[in-house]
Structure 1
């Protein structure tokens, strides 16, 4: 019992060291038996007893640790032992395979120094177990262990045990609760404005008399119109050619269409998509000014520019 007290004291001292963050201590209890101790000729043989043990270990990795233990296999009545206690100090590496976050299986292979009655003996240790970890600091074990060679006088036996144990891990903690990243601030909805219906005219200076060829003076007006349309890609434009009443109506109709198309072609050359442009002509059918004077007829020769109402987003 003195050695048992020493083992418990050592485990407490080890667990109290703050630097040993991966240490654990535990206790186990169950049944033990000595195989090959009793034979058919043995009288009053009792090779079974209650088993009690304590252990301390250090996990180097999730799968590898080192474990020191003290096992009290109880009192046995077998040849050369008359109700005498069998105990052992054990030291072995522990190999663990984690099935999932809760369950793991492990094996230990190492050595033992056994007290058998009044004698001492070295032995080999083998153990296998199932470990349940319901909490980061606590685990429960179901273990089978064997000491392969317990010798006393002419006695040669195996010390076996089946135990249920519990251990406490120092330094372990519950998984940190990671706060979810803050939700990104919603992008402010862009301000939407409405551009009202707009109209303009490219007058008689746009073309030479009886011609659909654009003059130099017209280029600046077309540049301004193209710049507007590029700035507002949501917009479209309608081009309507007009003429005065001089000459044949068919001729005036064709000329008005050609002039509207000439402006449309100039816009396309400046990067405006053709599907945004509508070009047509009305010839002399829609006279706005008095045709009785040269000035009136001159004013009736123009290309009407119509930009229908559209919505656009205000840039920051």
Structure 2
């Protein structure tokens, strides 16, 4: 009981550290196997079975959560029991370490209350797994879990599971997805008295290429997304005085050095698409800002999607109308 109380105290302390949290609910299924249940004295023993589970979590931020679970680890035969059901109630902190924009590694370590047949025990458990964000509110996961030293009568054994599952988030704050940026040609005319030639200031409204325009976890621009640059290419060909600045940005997921390189590569990918349409490289300035200058909160998935972008800007220039 002391093990369970210690884990509950730790998880409540973590939960109180942040108000920017949301809940998630999930389910999983797979296989289970027990170690050291069978002895050489038993003529019939079966340590392998199925596994089903459900879990509820409280996500403090994208890295830390508190998770409780209910798991049925099938029916096994051994330790003087025949076709006995094994049930576990678990509680633990869940720590997630991002590998890329949508993929992360998570670990859990906490307490489990286990019932086998008509006996029960309190134990420590741990797990490790992979988490993949399929949609903004739906994740897929694969997990290996180990419950240590289950003491039932005169037997002492371990319980292992490997499961595949999903989780869905709810109750957190959400930010609206921005409307697509309209491509608008802005023209400002400066009129001078008694001047034959009228100087005109031209520019092109900043265009945003979002992360959905690139291949998954890549800096390669999708072929269909290159068509979004057509109007800008027409403008650049019509006004050879115009130059263009291409700047890439990312969210804060993953290492800052990885994000910096990714922002530079995505900006260069857009620049390459402009060059392929005949825009001279000397008219294009390319840079990456990595995690800098976010336009939305990195605490939510929707905010991180907005921050993963490439901005295309044409600085204002003057030309003379004939």
8 Å contact from structure 1 (residues 48, 76) kept in 2: yes
Show the counterpart of 1:275.
Answer: none
Instruction: Report deviation, 1:186.
Output: 2.1
Mean CA deviation greater in 102-111 or 179-188: 179-188
Identify if the C-alpha distance between structure 1 residues 144 and 67 changes in structure 2 by more than 3 Å, giving closer, same or farther: same
| Cα distance in 1, alignment partners of residues 91 and 30 from structure 2 | 20
Residue 62 of structure 1 aligns to a residue whose secondary structure is coil
Residue 187 of structure 1 aligns to a residue whose secondary structure is strand
| Cα distance in 2, alignment partners of residues 135 and 167 from structure 1 | 11
Q: Could you give the per-residue CA deviations for residues 169-213 of structure 1, whole angstroms, max 9, x where no partner exists?
A: 113558722554885842214347249xxxxxxxxxxxxxxxxxx
Residue 178 of structure 2 aligns to a residue whose secondary structure is coil
| Cα distance in 2, alignment partners of residues 194 and 111 from structure 1 | 85
8 Å contact from structure 2 (residues 21, 59) kept in 1: no
Structure 1 residue runs of 4+, over 4 Å off?
172-175, 181-184
Alignment of 1:97-136 (within 5 A): 97-136=97-136
Instruction: Report deviation, 1:36.
Output: 1.1
TM-score (norm. length: structure 2) = 0.51
Show the counterpart of 2:188.
Answer: 187
User: Unaligned regions of 5+ residues in structure 1, if any?
Assistant: 1-18, 196-312
| Cα distance in 2, alignment partners of residues 43 and 175 from structure 1 | 63
Alignment of 1:144-293 (within 5 A): 144-171=144-171, 176-177=177-178, 180=181, 185-191=186-192, 193-194=195-196
8 Å contact from structure 1 (residues 86, 116) kept in 2: yes
Instruction: Report deviation, 1:138.
Output: 0.4
Instruction: Report deviation, 1:98.
Output: 1.2
| Cα distance in 1, alignment partners of residues 20 and 196 from structure 2 | 71
1:84 aligns with 2:87: no
User: Unaligned regions of 5+ residues in structure 2, if any?
Assistant: 1-18, 198-319
8 Å contact from structure 2 (residues 81, 117) kept in 1: yes
| Cα distance in 2, alignment partners of residues 115 and 20 from structure 1 | 36
Show the counterpart of 2:73.
Answer: 73
TM-score (norm. length: structure 1) = 0.52
| Cα distance in 2, alignment partners of residues 160 and 154 from structure 1 | 20
| Cα distance in 2, alignment partners of residues 174 and 145 from structure 1 | 35
Show the counterpart of 2:288.
Answer: none
Q: How well do the aligned residues superpose, as a CA RMSD in angstroms?
A: 2.6
| Cα distance in 2, alignment partners of residues 41 and 118 from structure 1 | 22
Identify if the C-alpha distance between structure 1 residues 55 and 120 changes in structure 2 by more than 3 Å, giving closer, same or farther: same
| Cα distance in 1, alignment partners of residues 182 and 191 from structure 2 | 25
